[in-house]
Structure 1
Amino acid sequence: MARINLLDTRTTNFGDLIGHGKIYRVPPFQRDYSWNEENWEDLWQDILLLHNNPDSSHYMGALVLQRSSTSDKEFTIIDGQQRLATLSIIAIAVIEKIQKLVDQEEREEEKQANQERQEILKRTYLSDKDPRSLRYSSKIILNENNNDFYQSNLINLRRPLNIRSLSKSNQLLWQAFQYFSNHLGELEDVIQSGEKLVEFLTDTIARRLLFIQINVEDELNAYTVFETLNARGIELSSTDLLKNYLFSLFQGPDDLQEAQRQWKRIINTVQMEKFPEFLRYYLSLQQTRVRRERLFKVVREYVKNAQQAFELLDQLENYSSLFIALGNPNDEFWRDTPENPPYIRELELFRVKQAYPTLFAAYGKFSPGDFTRLLKLVCILSFRYTIVSSLNPNELETLYNKVAIAIAKGEITSPRHVFDNLRSVYVSDEKFLQDFSLLSISTRGQKKKLVRYILCKLEADASGIEVNEDSFSIEHILPESLSSEWQQNFSDTQLEEMVCRIGNLTPLEPPLNRQVGNESYPIKREVYQQSVYKLTRDILAEEWTPDTLATRQRGLAQRATHIWRSDFLS
């Protein structure tokens, strides 16, 4: 593996970063400014701690910068734009307070001193005046959506005429300025003196807010840095990095605008935080073992020009709706195929995503009927392999990846052919029966839905009547809270192990469930006969012991073996 050259990795502060004529640019298509009051409050509290403890400092995290190929004083901000922009806004708020002192001061000598302080701070933290326009421009240049407002309004202390007409991100920029200006006004020991205001900015903020500065040579190295940084927002940053790379391949403004529109549609569908996961499943249609941390490298390897970038965006847009729908049985995507949502709900319940590449490939290649049959197969295989037998999911992911590639190439053309290729991970009836006979699932939290699902399936098979999962309570025959009568038949270890065994659980109407509570087994058995649920009425043993519980569960396991069985077994 080639050695990564990280240049000038060092500890620095805001004052050093912004000084010495250096300029920082946010990539034109990087995310807009997005910090809100929660972020501002966190930063302000950190600054107040520094203000009240003169010997302290505060670590602000890592900045990832890419140095310009033409100037050693110009940098692209790969990661850190929100922090740098916000600190610059605080500097603007300090300068505004000094301007107010200038406006209010009657003594000419003090007025001139504050004017001079203001000019020095502007040159230090913003920039010198443009000799033609006599306006200040920032040492930090924001993205294309934020920079005009930032330069024209914030740096020049011009209140926008109509705040509501601004874009959301520009509203946030203005609100950030107002937030820090208001809080600065509450520091009575600072606000009355230009000298104190300067000290607050240059000493507290510029000197004692510390960063790790990491300079990288190119986008690929920047992505590698993201893999190793343990910081919030890493997925957003790596996604932005990929977006910037794709956009850099478009030369003409028309192509670029179309790519921007397409990217926005994809992100609006998939959502930014899920994009890396979505991209990995898509790339798994062509490559084996695509790791999350190599997504950017994989794209760089085969997307080299505008045409290939458009092809990638087209494909991502095509699959984006399917990706979201696979995690939501109520999605409009399934409107014309009402037979699919029950299986989508099972995938969601089982938390199965390893099959997504296979489902991606099959949706475009199989008929609607075959796609439904494939969904059913995936659910059955997942229930056996993951839920009941608790086997290693890594093998599943590898096989689904290979099957997806084969479907995409036209080498696998039917659900039966998929099953043939997944036969090695289809748990045998013998093992499934054995594992189900010992299955124990907690009835608390998210697992409770899984227990309801299993009991519904078992009851529907026993009675021939479909059951609403929300219509019953989960009855623990051996109760969770025990009386002395129950302790006669179960040891302490058995009590703990068996209370959530599937053989100890049964559906029961809520009023009957409340009636039996923690009563003894003979009383419960009598009430069970009043239930509409056949599974419950079938509980007829003279006493409830570890042996009778195990016997009942073996019977349920035999029923389960044919309920969750592949249609493609000969």
Structure 2
Amino acid sequence: MARINLLDTRTSNFGELIGNGKTYQVPIFQRDYSWGPENWEDLWQDIVSLYEGKSTSHYMGAIVLQNHSTTDKHFTVIDGQQRLATLSILGIAVIQKIKQLVAQGIDIDDNEKRQKILRRTYLSDEDPRSLKASSKLVLNENNNDFYQSYLINFKSPKNIRSLKKSDQLLWKTFQYFSEELDKLTDIATDGFKLAEFLTDTVARKLLFIQINVDDEINAYTVFETLNARGIELSTTDLLKNYLFSLFETSTDLEAAQRQWRRIVNTVPMPKFPDFLRYYLSLSNIRVRSGQLFKIVRKDVMDAEQAFRLLDELEAYSSLFIALGDANDDFWRDLPEAQPFIREINLFRVKQAYPTLFATYEHFESDNFIKTLELISVLSFRHSIVSGWNPNELEKLYNEVAMKVATARIKTPRQVFEVLKKVYVPDEKFQQDFALLTIPTKGQKKLVRYILQKLEEDAAQRSDEMDSFSIEHILPESPNEKWYQDFSDDQIDEWVYRLGNLTLLEARLNRQIGNEHYHDKLKVYQESVYALTQDIATPDWDTEAIAKRQRRLAKRATHIWRSSFAS
């Protein structure tokens, strides 16, 4: 490995980073802004704790900078652009509040001075020669135009939905901090306190480990070394910078950068490590997240291999995204796949992605559909009903993917032969289904799916039934009459048993509310749903629920059965 020459490592607060005429450039190929609500909220809570005196400082982690001048004024941001951009936007939100005070006629002269000083300190300096403003932070090519044209200039975009997703996130970051500042009522209408909040809390108490590196060190080597020392850097950044380091000509590098942008514009950055893991599983068994970069580095060692990898990632990127969305345009020419894609997403079956990558690439369309159906049925039996650990499927799905990719598996039946060891047999599935409990409060979509499939089978139709309500025969909040048949413990145990659930029109559901079973029964006969009309037992108790669920279990056994099973 090349020797790493760290120019210096120091602790710096945000004010020291952004002050004294320093400027920061995010590389044009660096990832787009991707922080979301969870990141903003975590940061804001830390800042509020500092403001309220609950803590004296907060470390923001390492920021890695490459210096481009002898004056230590101009830097490329190797790692830390998300945090710098977010804090810059917080500064914009504070300054905007002070500008609003001026517009409202509050302490006009002092607030005018404050907002000008704060803007010059945290956002942009004026060149003493040209008198033109120079932004302290320049984002990547996808985000910089919006940052400079709108945020820095305190302008609101006219049509939020027309913005690219990362620009929408930039704007939502600004809105979030603006709203949170309003909640700090002791400072929201006081320019002095707003300025103090930015300069004394945000700028002085947020600390970074600042690492400056020599110009000659390429980004890949820096990332690899820092990662080995325990500084958290993303696999995506490691991969990207390593691949770019393999290209010796500017023409090849620019072509690779364009291709990389196409890939990450398709696959969002938070999903990229999973995408890479599923792709690598086409040729490696049980790929772990921590192994991704090592595997790529071992297999890709020159520009030709790097281009080949980029080509294949780009080819699979659209399929990866489409597997997570049944309504994606990708399925326009293969609509038969959509119901199974919905089911696989409902069951959260990510382990099957390598198999789906391989079978989509190597099978005819009808055999790919059959594979989708097999995986859906197997997943429902294995993970949803019988509750087996889905992680044990990963090795088998990787095995299938590798065998499909090398033509050792050519048909869906051969896929089943590998997977049948985790295919739950009918007898076991029926027993488990007869005891299935699913809380509707957290898994309503899954309950609706199961009831709809049961109803379609009972009524021998496959109509869209989006309008039905889930009826708890024994209600979630039963009235006093129900306690004649159920104790508190029995209510907790049986209310979410599948045998206690049925489909009902919304108007009828509102009509019967939490009434007793005898009052509900006549309304059930008015329903158009076959499963509901079939409820006719004289009383509703634990035995009635169990008996109905055993009948549903028999029906479920042939609904969710693979045609390849004996």
TM-score bracket relative to the smaller structure: 0.7 to 0.9
Q: CA deviation at 1:431?
A: 1.3
Once the two structures are superposed, the pairs formed by residues 375-454 of structure 1 within 5 Å of their partners are 375-445=372-442, 447-454=443-450
Q: CA deviation at 1:189?
A: 7.1
Please list every run of 5 or more consecutive structure 2 residues that lacks an aligned counterpart in the other structure. 96-116, 178-188, 214-220
Aligned-partner SS, 2:544: helix
Once the two structures are superposed, the pairs formed by residues 159-308 of structure 1 within 5 Å of their partners are 209-213=206-210, 218-224=222-228, 229=232, 237-308=234-305
Q: Alignment length, in residue pairs?
A: 509
1:61 is the counterpart of 2:60 = yes
1:530 is the counterpart of 2:526 = yes
Once the two structures are superposed, the pairs formed by residues 77-96 of structure 1 within 5 Å of their partners are 77-81=77-81, 83=83
1:29 is the counterpart of 2:29 = yes
**CA deviation profile, 1:220-246 (whole Å, cap 9, x unmatched):** 233456x764xxxx6xx5423422222
When residues 555 and 86 of structure 1 are mapped into structure 2, their CA distance, relative to the original with a 3 A threshold, is closer
Q: CA deviation at 1:388?
A: 0.5
Q: CA deviation at 1:211?
A: 1.7
When residues 412 and 480 of structure 1 are mapped into structure 2, their CA distance, relative to the original with a 3 A threshold, is same
Once the two structures are superposed, the pairs formed by residues 480-491 of structure 1 within 5 Å of their partners are 480-491=476-487
Assess if the C-alpha contact under 8 Å between 1:78 and 1:222 holds in 2: no
Q: CA deviation at 1:341?
A: 0.6
Distance 1:187 1:556 in 2: 65
Distance 2:51 2:473 in 1: 63
**CA deviation profile, 1:481-514 (whole Å, cap 9, x unmatched):** 2233322222221111111111111122233333
When residues 404 and 386 of structure 1 are mapped into structure 2, their CA distance, relative to the original with a 3 A threshold, is same
**CA deviation profile, 1:11-47 (whole Å, cap 9, x unmatched):** 4446877999999875553246789999999999999
* Structure index of larger Rg: 1
When residues 384 and 305 of structure 1 are mapped into structure 2, their CA distance, relative to the original with a 3 A threshold, is same
Q: Structure 1 counterpart of 2:61, which letter?
A: A
Assess if the C-alpha contact under 8 Å between 1:259 and 1:310 holds in 2: yes
Q: What residue in structure 2 maps to residue 112 of structure 1? A: none
Assess if the C-alpha contact under 8 Å between 1:223 and 1:296 holds in 2: no
Distance 1:533 1:220 in 2: 61
Distance 2:519 2:563 in 1: 42
1:556 is the counterpart of 2:559 = no
Distance 1:370 1:455 in 2: 28
Distance 2:517 2:12 in 1: 71
- TM-score w.r.t. the length of structure 1 is 0.72
When residues 75 and 555 of structure 1 are mapped into structure 2, their CA distance, relative to the original with a 3 A threshold, is same
Q: Structure 2 counterpart of 1:501, which letter?
A: R
Calculate the aligned-residue CA RMSD, in Å: 5.2
1:544 to 540, 546, 563: 540
Assess if the C-alpha contact under 8 Å between 1:370 and 1:414 holds in 2: yes
When residues 556 and 254 of structure 1 are mapped into structure 2, their CA distance, relative to the original with a 3 A threshold, is same
Distance 2:55 2:479 in 1: 60
Q: What residue in structure 2 maps to residue 183 of structure 1? A: none
Distance 1:148 1:507 in 2: 52
Q: Structure 2 counterpart of 1:443, which letter?
A: T
Q: CA deviation at 1:268?
A: 1.8
Distance 2:363 2:549 in 1: 39
Distance 2:13 2:473 in 1: 65
Aligned-partner SS, 1:475: strand
Distance 1:488 1:50 in 2: 56
When residues 382 and 5 of structure 1 are mapped into structure 2, their CA distance, relative to the original with a 3 A threshold, is farther
Distance 2:463 2:193 in 1: 69
Q: CA deviation at 1:298?
A: 2.2
Distance 1:35 1:370 in 2: 40
Distance 1:479 1:146 in 2: 53
Aligned-partner SS, 2:334: coil
Comparing 27-36 with 485-494, greater Cα deviation is found at 27-36
**CA deviation profile, 1:408-448 (whole Å, cap 9, x unmatched):** 11111111111110111111112111110000112224x11
Comparing 380-389 with 38-47, greater Cα deviation is found at 38-47
- TM-score w.r.t. the length of structure 2 is 0.73
1:496 to 492, 516, 534: 492
1:333 is the counterpart of 2:330 = yes
When residues 8 and 423 of structure 1 are mapped into structure 2, their CA distance, relative to the original with a 3 A threshold, is farther
**CA deviation profile, 1:302-326 (whole Å, cap 9, x unmatched):** 1211111111111111111111111
**CA deviation profile, 1:131-166 (whole Å, cap 9, x unmatched):** xx99999998967749999xx99xxx9x9xxx99xx
When residues 435 and 138 of structure 1 are mapped into structure 2, their CA distance, relative to the original with a 3 A threshold, is same
Aligned-partner SS, 1:218: helix
**CA deviation profile, 1:507-526 (whole Å, cap 9, x unmatched):** 22233333333333233223
Assess if the C-alpha contact under 8 Å between 1:78 and 1:241 holds in 2: no
Q: Structure 1 counterpart of 2:322, which letter?
A: A
Q: CA deviation at 1:340?
A: 1.0
Distance 1:289 1:463 in 2: 43
1:320 to 304, 317, 330: 317
Distance 2:516 2:319 in 1: 51
When residues 388 and 59 of structure 1 are mapped into structure 2, their CA distance, relative to the original with a 3 A threshold, is same
1:479 is the counterpart of 2:475 = yes
Q: Structure 1 counterpart of 2:333, which letter?
A: D
Q: CA deviation at 1:376?
A: 0.3
Q: CA deviation at 1:373?
A: 0.3
Comparing 509-518 with 351-360, greater Cα deviation is found at 509-518
When residues 414 and 126 of structure 1 are mapped into structure 2, their CA distance, relative to the original with a 3 A threshold, is same
Distance 2:192 2:201 in 1: 14
Q: CA deviation at 1:203?
A: 9.1
Distance 1:496 1:204 in 2: 49
Aligned-partner SS, 1:339: helix
Q: Structure 2 counterpart of 1:562, which letter?
A: H
Distance 2:452 2:144 in 1: 60
Assess if the C-alpha contact under 8 Å between 1:483 and 1:518 holds in 2: yes
Q: Structure 1 counterpart of 2:510, which letter?
A: R
1:507 is the counterpart of 2:503 = yes
Q: What residue in structure 1 maps to residue 114 of structure 2? A: none
Aligned-partner SS, 1:78: strand
When residues 537 and 292 of structure 1 are mapped into structure 2, their CA distance, relative to the original with a 3 A threshold, is same
When residues 440 and 50 of structure 1 are mapped into structure 2, their CA distance, relative to the original with a 3 A threshold, is closer
Aligned-partner SS, 2:476: coil
Assess if the C-alpha contact under 8 Å between 1:220 and 1:296 holds in 2: no
Q: CA deviation at 1:297?
A: 2.5
Q: CA deviation at 1:361?
A: 0.7
Q: CA deviation at 1:52?
A: 11
1:345 is the counterpart of 2:342 = yes
Distance 2:359 2:384 in 1: 24
When residues 515 and 15 of structure 1 are mapped into structure 2, their CA distance, relative to the original with a 3 A threshold, is closer
Identity %, equivalent residues: 57
Q: CA deviation at 1:360?
A: 0.4
